[in-house]
Structure 1
Amino acid sequence: MNLRPKLRSPPLSAASFPSPPSPLSHSSKTILSKMPRKSLLRPTLAVACFLAYAAARGGESVENDALLKYPGNQHSAEWYLFSDLNRPSEERVDSSVTRVMDPEEADLFYVPFFSSLSLVVNPIRPTTVNVSHDRTVYNDEQTQEDLMEWLEEQVYWKRNNGWDHVFICQDPNALYKVIDRVKNGVLLVSDFGRLAHNQASLVKDVILPYSHRINTYKGDIGLENRKSLLFFMGNRYRKEGGKIRDLLFQVLENEQGVIIKHGAQSRESRRVATQGMHTSRFCLHPAGDTPSACRLFDAIVSLCVPVIVSDYIELPFEDVIDYRKIAIFVDSTTAVTPGNLVKLLRRVSPEKILEFQKELKKVKKYFEYEDPNGTVREIWRQVALKLPLIKLMSNRDKRIVVRDLTEPDCSCLCSNQSGVRTTL
């Protein structure tokens, strides 16, 4: 299968990326985006969106990208960011990013490759899938390689060695094949769970929230209808950091006032989870296979105070959200000691819980992808704030001499899991 584009840069205004065989297709229209340069008090940037990879599994190509609909089988952020850039400019007046059609006007280049969707569509083991001899099996790894081969030939990539390119990889395994080739760029990720310290950084990257899976709580703050102390529903057995879940089940499943259930994703599970979170005071958020999981954001939109047991978690939008005001953090050792967690939560006064709920109601707008003034707007603001640091790192990268270092040079990066963080 040959997905390699024939176009060379510039110009990008006629760029195309040939469609792979079903189940994925590409939109051939190039999208370029720009941001106005405003006051230094409100940094903005230009985003050039130059590779339109835009249709979901089983979807059909359309002539106008704006007509594409959310396919429902991919991570929300990659779809809603792409969709937002296709909105008319008059609907995006207060956005931190503005579309441009001339890449020379761009400060940053957004690469709208649907990396999570590409991963989902790809068969788990392509070499062992039984398909007819006349059908080509979609290959995520090959698509990643072709994407990078195309990008690395572009003058705008070469100009700053990729520092000014923005990639979304919300699934923990997205872009895994080429992560070392995109690590200079701004990575939009949900956490740093499977990224090395020299691949991701709070300095250059943006932490995204998962979209919530349950319905937003429509009521007001209060404890009258929240009779359960603590609620959790999810897979009991996970890999890697999520092994703590089984230990938490063991110490909590017989505690009075605690509802903790094993359950996989399904319509019925979402219904039960909605009921449980809307009627509980606290909602447990243990690590999954990686430090973050969607249940944290389910809890936030439920006004159910999150109890976070995830030692290496990074959280979205921490420059505007003080998570100590909306969540309780408990280290893993304390949490799995029998009796500790329940005693801690019972000591929280009703007045304090109401304060938590009041703050949760204030910030839940940041976790609504469907709201044009919610999550998407905040993500673009976060990306815009990276621009001065990106320019610093790009300029530094060009002047630095080759050095024989015994340890990686991370003076431009903040380690994503180190106890000591280096900042600029």
Structure 2
Amino acid sequence: MSLDIKRPISNKTKKKKTGFIFQMQLNHNNREGNNKRNMFIVFFRHYYRWILWFFLSLYLFTSYFTGDQPSPSTTTTSLISNLKTSSSLPSHALIESSAILKPSHTSIFNGMKIYVYDLPARYNSDWVTASDRCASHLFAAEVAIHRALLSDFSVRTLEPEEADFFFVPVYVSCNFSTSNGFPSLSHARSLISSAVDFVSGRYSFWNRTRGSDHVFVASHDFGACFHAMEDMAIEQGIPEFMKKSIILQTFGVNYKHPCQEAEHVVIPPYVPPESVQIAIDRAPAKGRRDIWAFFRGKMEVNPKNINGRYYSKGVRTAILKKYGGRRRFHLNRHRFAGYRSEILRSVFCLCPLGWAPWSPRLVESAVLGCVPVVIADGIKLPFSETVRWPEISLTVAEKDVKNLRKILEHVTATNLSMIQRNLREPAFKRALLYNVPMMEGDATWHILDALSRKLDRSYRRSRVLSQ
């Protein structure tokens, strides 16, 4: 009997076959993995911006709702406490971040872009070269805004085709040719007209909109009417070629007036930030406000001058006659270079109208912590849409000047401490001063914020929407 014994299949053979199959699968998987990797790389190259934007937005969104958010009241109380204890460093009041600021718009402003025309020096920088006062006097907002825009590339564009607005930098308040040292505006209309001829002859942007997306500064008594006397300003009116443009002007009233019959933004008069800082630095660390009501400036004993016009509508004369020599009123008709030190010592700073309703005293008082008492019927204060003026100032009707003492005594007995506390908030101070380069929340920042709400005038935007 034969016995057939079947040998088992060798493991080696199995291993070889299995190894071969495994290798084939591995090579196949590698090729498939490479293809997928290549597809991923191509996809990422094309869409990485969207992917990064999605995750960044998701992070910011979740951070907002899950982060520890201090309550506004706690933050404001803390800020005021810090200001009270930092008397040795008074400059902080002008530069610290404030809890009451709105979220930053500096880099976006709804995506707004501004093109700054590069005009020949005869329209701007030559005037500064001729006189240092050009960049530092109360009408110098035209210089400060121009310089701030040149230094800010979050809004400025070097490509005019990308611009929503076009800034025309003409300095018309720097001609100090008059005997009294005040600027002469007699050349203003011809100088700006020449600048418009220049830009319209070299660019197509003015002609396509008749200047409706172009921005000018008119930092004078009656804005783009370019005259210091109201009757003459009204008679001359705004030049026809500027009536379609946007005017940044210190003049503003809450009633119909020929000198604001153009799209405009009311801006603060210019007060040099460095002069404010010097006054603060020189003040005693624990200085006391020992002047109750303060005013220094022109006050006519006889209000009717040689031209037959009444300066300040007689308001300043009424103040002088009623309160001159009174113990609690510090009134002075003469100039004094260190008058900001007097503001730092004062509780109330009177801001009556002059020829025009506005005054640099408004800014100086507010940033130096003295309660501005605005005496100018119908005045429209700068950035009134965003700056809460009723919380940091008083308004007294011109006819009520005779009751001024009683009005101030009533405020002293009721809500003076609240107004003074509000005045210490850095955001209020910052909104009234121009910085170069621009700072978040300063005067130029608020101007850009106001312009961003006028983007319906942008030719570029209207073209995009119509396509």
When the two structures are superposed, what TM-score results if normalisation uses the length of structure 2? 0.60
Deviations 1:341-370 (A, max 9, x none): 101111224662221112112211112223
Shift of residue 292, structure 1, vs aligned partner: 0.2
Aligned to 2:410: 347
Determine if the alignment matches structure 1 residue 109 to structure 2 residue 166. Answer: yes
Query: C-alpha distance in 2, partners of 1:317/1:37?
Result: 20
Structure 1 alignment gaps of length 5 or more: 1-34, 61-67, 126-137, 396-424
Instruction: State which of 352, 363, 366 in structure 1 corresponds to 2:431.
Output: 366
Determine the structure 2 residue equivalent to 1:211: 270
Contact 2:222 / 2:251 at 8 angstroms: preserved in 1?
no
Correspondence for 1:331 among 384, 397, 415: 397
- 1:37 deviates by 9.6
Distance 1:58 1:286, change over 3 A: closer
Asked if 1:186 corresponds to 2:252, the answer is: no
Residue pair 2:170, 2:192 contacting (<8 A) in 1 also: no
Give the letter aligned to residue 114 of structure 1. Answer: Y
Show the counterpart of 2:156. 99
1:106-158: CA deviation from partner (whole Å, max 9, x where unpaired): 111111111222xx245689xxxxxxxxxxxx955532332233345452112
- 2:296 pairs, out of 226, 233, 236, with 233
| Corresponding residue for residue 451 of structure 2 | 383
1:263-285 CA deviation, whole Å, 9 max, x = no partner?
24xxxx131x2232111111101
Amino acid at match of 2:393: A
CA deviation string 1:211-264 (max 9, x = no partner)? 2366356499x9971122200001114855453211111111133311111124
* 2:149 maps to 1:57: no
Within a 5 Å distance, the mapping from 1:162-311 to structure 2 comes to 162-172=211-221, 176=226, 179-192=239-252, 197-200=257-260, 204-212=263-271, 215-216=276-277, 218=280, 225-237=288-300, 240-264=311-335, 269-271=336-338, 273-311=339-377
Output the CA distance in 2 between the equivalents of 1:71 and 1:308: 26
Structure 2: gaps of 5 or more residues: 1-104, 181-185, 227-235, 304-309, 463-467
Matched with 1:12 is none
Q: For the Cα contact (< 8 Å) 1:309–1:329, is it kept in 2?
A: yes
Q: Partners in 2 of 1:69 and 1:257 — Cα distance?
A: 35
CA RMSD of aligned residues (A): 3.6
Residues in 1 aligned to 2:216 and 2:106: alpha-carbon distance in whole angstroms: 21
The alignment covers a number of residue pairs equal to: 317
Which structure is larger by alpha-carbon Rg, 1 or 2?
2
Select the residue among 176, 179, 193 that pairs with 1:145. 193
Aligned partner letter, 2:168: V
Tell me the distance in 1 between the aligned counterparts of 2:271 and 2:107.
33
Q: Check 1:88–1:122 CA distance in 2 against 1; reply closer, same or farther (3 A cut).
A: same
What letter is aligned with 1:365? R
- Asked if the contact 2:295/2:331 (under 8 Å) is kept, the reply is yes
Q: Does the C-alpha gap of structure 1 residues 215 and 319 become closer, same or farther in structure 2, counting only changes over 3 Å?
A: same
For each residue in 1:8-42, what CA deviation from the matched residue of structure 2 results, as whole angstroms up to 9, or x when unmatched? xxxxxxxxxxxxxxxxxxxxxxxxxxx9995xxx5
Match of 1:9 in 2: none
- Equivalent residue for 2:139, pick from 75, 92, 110: 75
User: Measured at CA, do residues 191 and 307 of structure 1 come closer, stay the same or move farther in structure 2, by a change above 3 Å?
Assistant: same
TM-score (norm 1): 0.65
